[in-house]
Structure 1
Amino acid sequence: MEIFFFFFYNHLTTAALVRFYVGSYHALRRRSANMDVLVALGTNAAYFYSVYILIKALTSDTFQGQDFFETRQSYVNESMITGEAKPVDKSPGDKVIGGTINENGCLLIKATHVGSDTALSQIVQLVETAQLAKAPVQKLADHISRVFVPLVVVAAFLTWMGWFVPGEVGLYPRHWIPKAMNAFELALQFAISVLVVACPCALGLATPTAVMVASGMGASQGVLIKGGDALEKAHKVKVVVFDKTGTLTVGKPVVVSAVLFSDFTMEEFYDMTIAVESSSEHPLAKAVVKHAKKLRKKFGSNDEEVPDVKDFEVQVGAGVSGKVGERTVLVGNKRLMHACNVPLSSEVERYMSENEILARTCVLVSIDGKIAGAYSVTDPLKPEAKRVISFLHSMGISSIIATGDNLATATAIANEVGIDEVFAETDPLGKADKVKELQMKGMTVAMVGDGINDSPALVAADVGMAIGAGTDVAIEAADIVLVKNSLEDVITAIDLSRKTMSRIRLNYIWALGYNILGMPVAAGVLYPFTGIRLPPWLAGACMAASSISVVSSSLLLQLYKKPLNVQCI
């Protein structure tokens, strides 16, 4: 709807101008002048004067002039694709992505890709393709059964032959054969008992019962596991790839400090900032206004009172400007100050450098051509981030940041939390390619993210983990959802998977051991010495007891607790 509106508006404007030109042509032919002639003269005079200014500026090094070309220079919030809240500067000729948000001014947009060719559609297609391409996990029980079942059948046949043939030729005493029964029937009962007691029901229950209990426990701990495949793969994870914004960080910019560099009072400084920044929709502006209003209360001011601003203007990709009373106020970055010839002292430069090292954004405030002060803005780390990365290392799991943000910010975050490797300034497909690159090295990879931009990597990873507060696309693409939005649940998911796989292996050992021990008894090994045999009905009861023991073993997973170090805050 927004794109259509801009296109329709521009179309109406062009059509109106054509009508004025046609009307003025006919009026001049009649040697008369009307309103159409005036409009045509005005628009053409502005246009051709601007062309003259442009040509003169190109041929002279000292000439400076003002043109009157209609321009549209905005910034677009592309967080749905990049995951970064900071809007991207857009100039004529730049590409924009359907579904992203224009946060300032008017954009004339030409649709170059529609339908299935759009960026969002391609991401969705990639998700669907990756999901279909995932190979089903081969269950250990299937492999065991392929060997075990034929062996049982052979053992049952040999049992029948081992009792029937000697019984017919009289190799064992006749009184071994119960009354009303012959050698054939005795041998057949032994063979049936072997088949029954070795029935791999317990083997078949070993995995699904453990997965069912573990999935329920995971849900109660805030970890939603989508099936046994994800639970089984998670225990093999050797590297975890983290998105930055909204995953390792909170995803909401906040001001961490404000300083003065001039003789203005803090109250004046806050008032000037609020007046200009309140008219901006930029996320950093909102954070600054919130901070300034909060601290202005200390001076007894009403946070609802906002000084009037005149001549408000957005300086695309740099900041905003306006007049508050008789004072000219600029709020923005270094680029804005340089463009407006505002000098930066060594003290200001040092303050900016110190904050950039800490991955913070500096918002400068100039009043009447002089730097009055600055704000330091950051997207804070989640409090548990450093502890989780440390615990992953103790589990033998390495960590990586994959983000669309710049390298300096990503590196600062990585150093702060102890992440091993940084992969910055990348798009959604780049994240997925990084995951595949790690997989080609033989690593089992988990991806943790929260946005649409993370979804290709989430499905490409062996285990995709989505933050519960993330987008629907990310949650749909993931194998595991961290419902409580806590990074601690990354540890919970992997640890629960390891505990579950250990329990499944124990179930297999118990089920196979039970069958292997029961088969000789069912085959009559003890019968010649003790007279004890296992009739088919009793063999069936023993088989059921085996299944009960495996189920009981799986139910012990209900006692699962999170690792103690993760629970500590």
Structure 2
Amino acid sequence: MNINVEDNKMELNGRDDLKRPLLEPSDSVCVTIPEPVDKLEKKRTVMFKIGNIKCASCVTSIESVLGEINGVESVSVSPIHGHAAIEYVPKLVNPKLIKETIEDAGFPVKEFSEQQIAVCRLRIKGMACTSCSESLERALKFLDGVKKAVVGLALEEAKVHFDPNITDSDRIIEAIEDAGFGADLISSGNEANKVHLKLEGVSSVEDMNTIKSYLESAIGVNHVEMDLEEKRATVNYDPDFTGPRSIIEAVQEVAHGSYKASLYIPPRQRETEQHHEINNYRNQFLLSCLFSVPLFIFSMVLPMLPPFGDWLEYKIYNMFTVGLLLRWVLCTPVQFIVGRRFYKGSYHALRLKSANMDVLVAMGTNAAYFYSVYVAIKSLSSDTFKGQDFFETSAMLISFILLGKYLEVLAKGKTSDALAKLTDLAPDSACLLILDDDGNVLSEVAISTQLIQRNDIIKIIPGEKVPVDGIVIDGQSYVNESMITGEAQPIAKKPGDKVIGGTMNENGCLLVKATHVGSETALSQIVQLVEAAQLARAPIQKIADRISRFFVPAIVLTAFITWLGWLIPGVIGIYPKHWIPKGMDKFELALQFGISVLVVACPCALGLATPTAVMVATGKGASLGVLIKGGNALEKAHKVKAIVFDKTGTLTVGKPEVVNVMLFSSVSMEDFCDVAIAAEANSQHPIAKAFLEHARKLRQKIESNRQSNNQHVTEAKDFEVHPGTGVSGKVGDKMVLVGNKRLMQTYNVTVGPEIEGYISEHEQQAQTCVLVSIDGKIAGAFAVTDPVKPEAKNVILYLHSMGISSIMVTGDNWATATAIAKEVGIEKVIAEMDPIGKADRIKDLQMRGLTVAMVGDGINDSPALVAADVGMAIGAGTDVAIEAADIVLIKSNLEDVVTAIDLSRKTISRIWLNYVWALGYNILGVPVAAGILYPFTGVRLPPWLAGACMAASSLSVVCSSLLLQSYRKSWVFQDTKRGHSHCSKST
């Protein structure tokens, strides 16, 4: 079998030879004993602009003072420009000290240049509520070199932007651990493409350094990390120059084959951490139950049974009973072993001048436990003392809180289900074709998907998933892309068509050339975009942030006031004695009310209200082909009151067709086509592409009729694009204009009555007319039609029912724009606008107080997408990283505009419902725990029950957010067979 890639207009360069390694070994390899690890650390360079440099002696002075600093390797100062480049070792010195040293020498550093900002993502352990995430953010921002830090509570991740010349990921992790939280590095620096390797034959630091040095010298390798203990390596590489298989081959070439390398697939960190957290809370809860269940039985059940009750009341010494001893012994492990996490959390929170849920739990359980210890000691020392201990309160409180946290982390794990399903779409293996230099297939090899390199040829049989993004070079089939784009119908694929990794090949065999691998694939980009969106905070989150600042102090104060409010009236006899339960005194009743207030309050529910809903909504949106870039876009979309639509490719199908060509001069059709083809060849506009296709076919037809093959001018010089009007350029010695009437008027080209009539006739039929001028005279024109999308009319109607007005802004002429607008039901039209004019019209709408969304193709409409409150790029396909858009709609279906806004509205409604529940719970729960109902009903909330309520409140908020997973699209469709339309709202 021979694969001729050239027939499909693709080129295979030398890198396509899969038998030849991309990392060519040098002719001679010199192995030396490596230096110690500390000496091999990479150096960094910092740039400064220094003032007051007047002569060479100034340069000498600067170089002299910097040369005395330990860690400064070299200094280069330009006396003319005042620029200094200093090479240094980060472990020994940092740019801040270098800058201060220069200033101390009498030379001001006018510009402390910002170095390239690095970004790292970290998994955070031990966060309980918004106070935790806020205190961690503060701790990170105080770290020298950190520019920005964002901590996601629900996602349990942090994203830190830092200056790599001042700090690094290791120091950031240290700062997080000093703040009392655990941290694992997810990614750091350039994580675009990396491969994890398991090494064999490695036994020492020298072996690791030999491999590392060899790899770092190879073309395309950016960074290498070695782990001697695990005998693993992580290699970051540029896929344009190398790939994972070539890197493995390179390792095996070191020291004449002394080392072996194989692909290592690490467990998915998020899932591993979630399972670990779930197991940890479950084990802690079960351990606590081992003591608290017997404690509950000894405290609440057996005293009611006479034989056992008498035994438990047996006095060991003075008033110290068997029951009191058992309760003390059973409670202590729960308080100090199981409950240790609350002590650690509260210690670190208070050290950072913050307060969180751990502080409340620690205070409540400590109050119950240590008062009970006081009762036990007093019972030992007195033969008349009668006191009520609360050992069971402390133990049961911790058990119920752990049960609540266990159920909460179980529920939180489901908030990222949609993302996990996307990640699982990529197949584990693929069939690689090994080719010879002539393109003949030598063999087929099953390899891991992670070993696929750019330009590999992959064979995909029916029923298999496409492993990476690529282009079909042979075969025909239908591919189901619904899992990525949401497109219900399988898409026909033939040579030259693009395929997306993670989609399903239906019925034919395809040979695909890999074009995007690793993190470059559409699937990886979608996952990265959704992960970034889930970490970004929505503005509505500020409500919880503001409340959390004073929540815990306010609750502690309320608990203290509650305790005094019950103790003082009891002491002076304001309330009757029968209010005091049997076995208690006034102090103990007041203490129980105070403890209940401490533990019933729940800051966690407030903190989880927004991020859990955003996580579920962004994941759900991604599964529907709607990529929402963060909480800000999600929140703004629900406020949209006006949507501005582009015409071509948005309201219309975006595949214009030429329906008429007319000549208005003596130029031949052959010359007309030649000139127009040359002028339009460099244009990316859909109309230009449509005419090019039509003109080339027309030119071929003319040639076949004449049986001639004349030479054509195929290139335009001085080519220039005039946004919104057309293009211009020189074809041969002729000045050519191709565009609308406004372009002709700009160049003073006369548009006669005959041409005006032609334009008017076709524009009334919603067709766009393009004029072609040669040397200042109109030579001809062509009319183009672009059919309206079948769902457009119903979408506009549905948006109107949602209270959203629709406006069309286009660069096309007024007649065509008006005809299209009338067909789809848009009343307001703004035509003949260039890209900047579109942005200005959006700003005009915003000045009237409207929240405006712009729907465009994400290329020509970038200024308008940026100007809008919410920019929606429609029909993105595999290009999911469109910078200008806030929301990326993968398909070209206008229904997704409705889906984006409807999902936003339902998400914001869910967030407000979460807030109402979380705030309402605390507003009602705290007074009840404080005993406000007790005088009237005799009902009080014991501390252990208050703790159970607190745990349930967080769980209920997470479960409320999970209901967004049941979201269904607002279907807007047209029944073309029956000739009428239907709209139905989402559920």
CA gap 1:489/1:274 in 2 versus in 1, 3 angstroms = same
Match for residue 768 of structure 2? Answer: 360
In structure 2, C-alpha distance between the alignment counterparts of 1:309 and 1:176, rounded to whole Å: 108
Matched with 1:194 is: 597
Rounded to whole Å, the distance in 2 between the matches of 1:568 and 1:546 is 46
**1:308 correspondence with 2:710:** yes
For 1:360, the aligned partner's letter is T
1:243 maps to 646
1:446, distance to aligned residue in structure 2 (A) = 1.2
Aligned residues of 1:296 and 1:303 also touching (Cα < 8 A) = no
- The answer to whether the 8 Å contact 1:362/1:374 transfers is yes
What is the alpha-carbon distance in structure 1 between the residues aligned to residue 782 and residue 898 of structure 2?
A: 36
By how many angstroms is 1:207 displaced? 1.5
Change (3 A) 1:319 1:258: farther
1:173 maps to a residue whose letter is K
CA distance in 1: counterparts of 2:600 and 2:769, whole angstroms: 71
Q: Is 2:943 the counterpart of 1:547? A: no
Of 772, 782, 804, which residue of structure 2 is paired with 1:397?
804
8 Å Cα contact 1:427/1:453 also seen in 2: no
Cα distance change of structure 1 residues 355 and 512 upon mapping to structure 2, 3 Å threshold? same
The answer to whether the Cα contact below 8 Å between 1:277 and 1:285 also exists between their aligned partners in 2 is no
Are the aligned partners of 1:405 and 1:424 in contact in 2 as well (CA < 8 Å)? yes
How far residue 476 of structure 1 moved from its aligned partner, in angstroms, is 1.2
Q: Which runs of 5+ in 2 are unaligned?
A: 1-536, 720-726, 745-750, 774-778, 977-987
Counterpart position of 2:902:
495
Instruction: Confirm or deny that 1:205 pairs with 2:637.
Output: no
Q: Is residue 921 of structure 2 the alignment partner of residue 519 of structure 1? A: no
Aligned position for 1:421: 828
- When residues 204 and 414 of structure 1 are mapped into structure 2, their CA distance, relative to the original with a 3 A threshold, is same
The verdict on how the C-alpha distance between 1:566 and 1:148 changes in structure 2, with shifts beyond 3 A counting, is farther
Shift of 1:379: 3.8
Secondary structure, aligned partner of 2:972: helix
Does structure 2 retain, via aligned residues, the 8 Å contact 1:458–1:477? yes
Checking the alignment, whether the CA contact within 8 Å between 2:673 and 2:699 is kept in structure 1 is: no
CA distance in 2, matches of 1:313, 1:205: 60
Counterpart selection for 2:884 from 449, 454, 477: 477
Identify if the C-alpha distance between structure 1 residues 219 and 566 changes in structure 2 by more than 3 Å, giving closer, same or farther.
farther
- Residue 184 of structure 1 corresponds to which residue in structure 2? 587
The Cα shift of 1:392 comes to 1.5
Alignment correspondent of 1:386: 793
Displacement of 1:196 in angstroms is: 2.0
1:303 is displaced (CA, Å) by 11
Using a 3 Å threshold, how does the CA distance of structure 1 residues 309 and 554 change in structure 2: closer, same or farther?
A: same
User: Judging changes above 3 Å, is the alpha-carbon distance between structure 1 residues 334 and 203 closer, same or farther for their aligned structure 2 residues?
Assistant: closer
Q: Deviations over 1:52-94 (max 9, x none)?
A: xxxxxxxxxxxxxxxxxxxxxxxxxxxxxxxxxxxxxxxxxxx
Determine helix, strand or coil for the equivalent of 2:602.
coil
More helix by share: 1
Change (3 A) 1:521 1:359: same
Q: Residues 456 and 288 (structure 1 numbering): CA distance in 2 closer, same or farther, change over 3 Å?
A: closer
Q: How does 1:112-511 map to 2 (within 5 A)?
A: 139-142=542-545, 152=555, 155-170=558-573, 171-173=575-577, 176-177=580-581, 179=583, 182-257=585-660, 281-282=680-681, 287-288=690-691, 290-291=693-694, 308=710, 351-357=758-764, 358-361=766-769, 376-469=783-876, 475-511=882-918
- Classify the secondary structure of the residue corresponding to 2:861: helix
Deviation at 1:364, TM superposition (A): 9.0
Structure 1 residue runs without a partner (length 5+):
1-133, 262-268, 323-329, 338-342, 366-370
TM-score, normalised by the number of residues in structure 1: 0.59
Structure-to-structure mapping, 1:12-23, within 5 angstroms: none
Letter in 1 for 2:559: A
CA contact (8 A) 2:872 2:886 kept: yes
What CA distance in whole angstroms lies between the structure 2 residues aligned with 1:531 and 1:285?
A: 82
CA distance in structure 2 between the aligned counterparts of 1:479 and 1:540, rounded to whole angstroms: 42
In structure 2, the CA distance between the partners of 1:144 and 1:536, relative to structure 1 (3 Å rule), is same
Per mean C-alpha deviation after superposition, the further-off stretch among 224-233 and 507-516 is 507-516
Q: CA RMSD in A?
A: 4.9
Task: State the 1:160 CA deviation.
Answer: 1.7
Alpha-carbon deviation of 1:162? 2.5
Pair 1:175–1:472, CA change in 2 (3 A): closer
User: In terms of mean alpha carbon deviation, does 231-240 or 453-462 score higher?
Assistant: 453-462
Q: 1:259 to 1:390 in 2, by over 3 A?
A: farther
* Structure 2 equivalent of residue 536 of structure 1: 943
Return the structure number with greater relative CO, CA threshold 8 A, min gap 6: 1
* Structure 1 position 513, deviation (Å): 3.0
Question: Residue 896 of structure 2 aligns to a residue in which SS?
Answer: helix
Query: For the residues of structure 2 that align with 1:538 and 1:460, how far apart are their CA atoms?
Result: 53
How much has 1:477 moved relative to structure 2?
2.5
User: Hey, what's the Cα distance between the residues in 2 that align with 1:304 and 1:173?
Assistant: 117
More strand, by proportion: 2
Distance 1:145 1:230 in 2: 24
Question: What secondary structure, in the 3-state scheme, does the structure 2 residue paired with 1:160 have?
Answer: helix
Rate the CA distance shift 1:471–1:410 in 2: closer, same or farther, 3 A.
farther
Q: Distance in 2 between matches of 1:239 and 1:497?
A: 15
Name the CA shift for 1:542/1:519 in 2 (closer, same or farther; >3 Å): same
Whether the 8 Å CA contact 1:333–1:362 is kept in 2: the answer is: yes
Return the alpha-carbon distance in structure 1 between the equivalents of residues 955 and 739 of structure 2: 69
CA distance in 2, matches of 1:505, 1:539: 24
User: For residues 863 and 663 of structure 2, what CA distance do their matches in structure 1 show?
Assistant: 45
Q: Which moved more, 1:218-227 or 1:269-278?
A: 269-278
Aligned equivalent of 1:60: none
Equivalent position SS for 2:643: strand
TM-score normalised per structure 2: 0.36
1:244 and 1:401 in contact (8 A); partners too: yes
- Residues 441-497 of structure 1, C-alpha deviations (whole Å, 9 max, x = no match): 211111223345533332332212223539979821222111223322111111111
Question: What amino acid sits opposite 2:830 in the alignment?
Answer: F
Match in the other structure for 1:86: none
Q: Separation in 2 of the partners of 1:304 and 1:186? A: 108
Cα separation, 2, equivalents of 1:140 and 1:384? 39
Say which SS state the counterpart of residue 613 (structure 2) adopts: helix
Tell me how far apart the structure 2 counterparts of residues 406 and 159 of structure 1 sit (CA, whole Å).
Answer: 74
Query: What is the alpha-carbon distance in structure 1 between the residues aligned to residue 874 and residue 863 of structure 2?
Result: 15
Tell me how far 1:332 sits from its aligned partner: 8.3
Query: The residue matched to 1:476 in structure 2 has which SS?
Result: coil
Looking at structure 1, the residues matched to 837 and 880 of structure 2 have their Cα atoms a distance apart, in angstroms, of 18
Q: Offset at 1:258? A: 6.5
Match of residue 49 from structure 1: none
Change (3 A) 1:566 1:231: farther
Contact 2:675–2:713 at 8 Å: present in 1 too?
no
What is the CA distance between 1:221 and its match in structure 2?
Answer: 0.8
Tell me, in whole angstroms, the C-alpha distance in 1 between the residues paired with 2:635 and 2:842.
Answer: 19
Q: Is the 8 A contact 1:312 1:320 kept in 2?
A: no
The C-alpha deviation readout for 1:273-294, integer Å capped at 9, x for no partner, is: 8777666645667635644787
AA at the equivalent of 2:641 = K
> Which residue is equivalent to 1:11?
none
